[in-house]
């Protein structure tokens, strides 16, 4: 693998339009089916996350919402992001105080997030083994599990290649 392109080119690329439209359509369908309201603000916030393709902060989302004429105050972004996270369309990346579109909405919450500390890219995977291990750990302590937060911080393949 040559690393030439990875150095200069912003990470999120390839067939953006298709995927963005696909995710939005899916979200619309799913919200309609569940009685959720994918309002313009929420829809646009999701579009921003999907287009970005990596973890971005709430205030970055807010800036873009403002550019598009949506409200320009923090609660606007946080409400929209809270909705997306609560309903499985996005994930909060605790390691970065940031948000990323869910790449597999409609399936599996409690993902394992592989977070690149260099470029902010987030790969979303699943691990039943990890999930079960956490459930077991909680049970062993009499702890009532409500939510799990599993993130792996490191370097994505492209950035690992670029680093000496």
* Phi, psi of 162, rounded to the nearest 5 degrees: -75, -25
Identify what 32 binds: DNA, a second copy, none; CB under 5 to 8 Å per kind.
Answer: none
Kind and range of the H or E run holding 130: helix 128-140
Report in angstroms how near the CB of residue 156 gets to DNA at its nearest.
20
Q: Tell me: does residue 117 bind a second copy (CB under 8 A).
A: yes
Closest CA to 50 of 20, 28, 82: 20
Which one among 22, 25, 37, 145 touches DNA, defined by CB under 7 A? 37
* Closer residue to a second copy, CB minimum distance, 37 or 139: 139
3-state secondary structure of 68: coil
Separation CA 138–CA 155 (nearest Å): 29
Site map 41..80 versus DNA, x via CB under 7 A: xx--------------xxxx---------xxxxxxx-xxx
Among 6, 30, 39, 114, binds DNA (CB under 7 A): 39
Supply φ then ψ for residue 122, to 5 degrees. Answer: -125, 125
Closest to DNA by CB, 48 vs 98, is 98
Cα 137–chain centre separation: 26
Catalog residues that contact DNA under the rule CB under 7 A: 36-37, 39-42, 57-60, 70-76, 78-80, 83, 97-98
């Amino acid at each position: 693998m040559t690393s030439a392109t990875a150095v200069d080119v912003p990470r999120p690329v390839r067939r953006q339009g298709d995927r963005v439209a696909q995710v939005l359509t899916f979200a619309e369908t799913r919200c309609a089916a569940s009685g959720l309201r994918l309002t313009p603000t929420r829809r646009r916030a999701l579009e921003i996350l999907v287009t970005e393709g990596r973890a971005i902060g709430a205030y970055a989302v807010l800036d873009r919402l403002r550019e598009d004429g949506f409200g320009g105050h923090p609660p606007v972004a946080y409400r929209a992001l809270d909705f997306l996270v609560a309903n499985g369309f996005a994930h909060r990346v605790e390691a970065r105080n940031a948000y990323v579109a869910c790449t597999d909405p409609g399936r599996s919450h409690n993902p394992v997030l592989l977070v690149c500390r260099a470029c902010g890219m987030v790969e979303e995977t699943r691990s039943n083994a990890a999930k079960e291990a956490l459930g077991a750990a909680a049970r062993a302590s009499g702890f009532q599990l409500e939510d799990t937060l599993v993130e792996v911080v490191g370097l994505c393949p492209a950035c690992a290649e670029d680093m000496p």
